[in-house]
Amino acid sequence: MLAHRLYAPKKAEEEPLVFEEVPVPHPGPGEILIRVKACGVCHTDLHTIEGEIHPPKLPIIPGHQVVGKVEAAGEGVTRFRGGERVGIPWLYESCGRCEFCWRGEENLCVQPKFTGFHVNGGFAELMLASASFALPLPDAFEAIKAAPLLCAGIIGYRSLKKGDIQPKEHVGLVGFGASAHLAIQIAKYWDCKVSVFTRSEEHRRHARELGADWTGTAEDEPEQPLDRAIIFAPSGTLVPEILKKLRPGGTLAINAIYMSDIPAFPYVFIYGERTLRSVANATYRDGEEFLKLAEEIPVRTDVTTYPFADANKSLIDLKHSRINGEAVLVMK
């Protein structure tokens, strides 16, 4: 089968993914073999290929927003049948034994496995997945449109929850890529006022098209203080800038697996019982809840598609903010 493998991290412009024939994997106990139909391209993939986060071993096949059909099942699998459509998210599996797993916080598992990072992912014609963590997909979403839901959508939904967002509040979204373009639709469904901060005029236009009440850059002041905010861009300098715009008692959540250092800032920026928290991965329950909500709204996914062979090009375009919504690799 054909796949894109990362042998050594390099800048995206150096095209570090090698497109080559690799052996077909075979499902072991508890695993399913997936024939990939589409795979979203995420900033986490970009951080991986550029060496900002480090897989435990190389080579690795990236990709963790996978839509496909079950080709075969390993011993003990009863959840899925051959030909059934499934979605494979970032969390491949958790240990099920640590204190976090027992609490239902498997996103904080001490020995997790992540798709396209610890195990081979969806930049391939076929891939293995844990049957316990695969998600049944709503029929309402075709493969290309469903792919962004499986990371950008789920982690955006968790960010809204961890950001303490309540209906009718004033919410700030900082950075407007794949995750934010889905999160804004949930916030508007909850009747929130939404202000979007991004450097890109094209992304500001996209935000307004999806219902943003105000758009500007991080240096601009919205019409009123924010009740809640989520930072999607991996820039630590944004944290004090957005805290200054947050009302007392407000919450700022950071949706980033990798971020540049947060600079020192005056205590007054966080004083007044403001909350600053990170968002780490997502639980299986987050995925179930979000996919149900996405069908109910219904969420619109904006995608730029790329032929399967063009994974390197999609990552370059992602790095340089040339994409509205999400890049998706499409199999023939």
Same domain? For 271 and 322 the reply is no
Residues 6+ apart with CB under 8 A from 58: 6, 7, 8
pLDDT exceeds cutoff 90 at 332: no
pLDDT exceeds cutoff 90 at 89: yes
Tell me what pLDDT residue 139 has.
86
Phi, psi dihedral angles at 99 (to 5 degrees):
-60, -35
Same domain? For 166 and 140 the reply is no
Is residue 220 domain-resident? yes
Same domain? For 9 and 143 the reply is yes
Average pLDDT over residues 213-240: 96
Tell me what pLDDT residue 138 has.
87
Tell me what pLDDT residue 140 has.
87
Q: What distance in Å separates the CA atoms of residue 50 and residue 12, rounded to the nearest whole number?
A: 6
Is residue 287 domain-resident? no
Phi, psi dihedral angles at 159 (to 5 degrees):
-65, -40
Same domain? For 38 and 167 the reply is no
Task: Determine what percent of the chain is predicted with pLDDT higher than 90.
Answer: 96
Taking residue 79's Cβ as centre, other Cβ atoms within 10 Å add up to 14
Average pLDDT over residues 38-57: 96
Same domain? For 175 and 259 the reply is yes
Is residue 159 domain-resident? yes
Is residue 78 domain-resident? yes
Q: Residue 219 maps to which CATH number? A: 3.40.50.720
Same domain? For 160 and 268 the reply is yes
Is residue 215 domain-resident? yes
pLDDT exceeds cutoff 90 at 230: yes
- The one-character DSSP state at 310 is G
**H or E segment to which residue 144 belongs:** helix 143-146
SS3 at position 202: helix
Same domain? For 129 and 8 the reply is yes
Same domain? For 161 and 48 the reply is no
Taking residue 184's Cβ as centre, other Cβ atoms within 10 Å add up to 23
Taking residue 81's Cβ as centre, other Cβ atoms within 10 Å add up to 10
Q: Give me the DSSP letters along 6-73.
A: ESS---GGG--EEEEE-PPP---TTEEEEEEEEEEE-HHHHHHHTTSS--SSSSB-----EEEEEEEE
Tell me what pLDDT residue 1 has.
96
* pLDDT tens, residue by residue, 168-200: 999 999 999 999 999 999 999 999 999 999 999
Q: What distance in Å separates the CA atoms of residue 303 and residue 7, rounded to the nearest whole number?
A: 28
**Do 147 and 328 meet the contact criterion of CB atoms below 8 Å apart?**
yes
Is residue 286 domain-resident? no
**H or E segment to which residue 326 belongs:** strand 326-330
Is residue 293 domain-resident? no
Determine if the peptide bond prior to 55 is cis (ω within 30°). Answer: no
* pLDDT tens, residue by residue, 258-299: 999 999 999 999 999 999 999 999 999 999 999 999 999 999
Same domain? For 68 and 158 the reply is no
Is residue 60 domain-resident? yes
Average pLDDT over residues 107-121: 98
The token duo for 143 is 């493969």
Residues 6+ apart with CB under 8 A from 209: none
pLDDT exceeds cutoff 90 at 99: yes
Tell me what pLDDT residue 59 has.
98
* Helix 178-189 × helix 201-209 angle, to 10°: 30
Same domain? For 255 and 320 the reply is no
The token duo for 194 is 């939404």
- Mean pLDDT for all residues in the chain: 96
Q: Which residues form the domain of 45?
A: 2-148+302-330
**What's the domain count of the chain?**
2
Q: Residue 135 maps to which CATH number? A: 3.90.180.10
Helix then strand then coil, in percent of the chain rounded to 5, is 25, 30, 45
Residues 6+ apart with CB under 8 A from 285: 104
Same domain? For 20 and 92 the reply is yes
Same domain? For 233 and 206 the reply is yes
